[in-house]
Amino acid sequence: MSTLERAIAIAAEAHAKQDKRGVEPFILHVMRVVLAVKGRKTRIVAALHDIVEKSDWTLKDLKKEGFPKKVVAGVDAMSKRPEETRKAYILRLAENPIARRVKLADLEDNARVVESKRPSRARDARLRRYAKERKYLLAREKAARKAKKEAKAVKT
């Protein structure tokens, strides 16, 4: 089974020479997302969350590396399809609990980077979109926790 350290090494290599909106090396964004989440599998997905979209790595490659099915499924959920609208992407991603948590951290970090830019209509529109997506994902996360708690109460 592949480890968090291996996921970070893969991400560092895959994102070498990439930058985050011309501000900083992309791997710094990845690492902030990793540090913002909890749980081994969630952190591994966080390390790999942009790898399919922004590099030559595929889900098949991750399977070959020995990453668990839940990790590969999380990375898959985090990967926007070329023909997919942003709304469809967020709705699909929200179905995966690991991806949902990683996306919340991703949006939070993205918002921080965008907020540091000079005010503009595009910047403000992006921040509003991030806030709307974050609100939806937080509501889904809260509903999932409530359902888990209710299911646990039924079992006892």
- Per the structure, the count of domains in the chain is 1
Which tens digit of pLDDT belongs to each residue from 4-39? 999 999 999 999 988 876 778 999 999 999 999 999
| Percent of the chain topping pLDDT 70 | 97
Q: What's the rounded Cα separation, in Å, for the pair 6 and 64?
A: 13
Give the residue among 1, 21, 25 at the shortest CA–CA distance from 13: 25
The rounded mean pLDDT for the chain is 94
pTM above 0.85, yes or no: yes
Model confidence at 48: pLDDT above 90: yes
User: Containing domain of residue 120, as a range?
Assistant: 4-155
CATH number for the domain including 109? 1.10.3210.10
Least confident of 18-32, 35-49, 70-84: 18-32
pLDDT digit string, tens, across residues 132-148: 999 999 999 999 999 88
Helix residue ranges, H only, 15-96: 26-36, 40-48, 51-54, 59-64, 69-78, 86-93
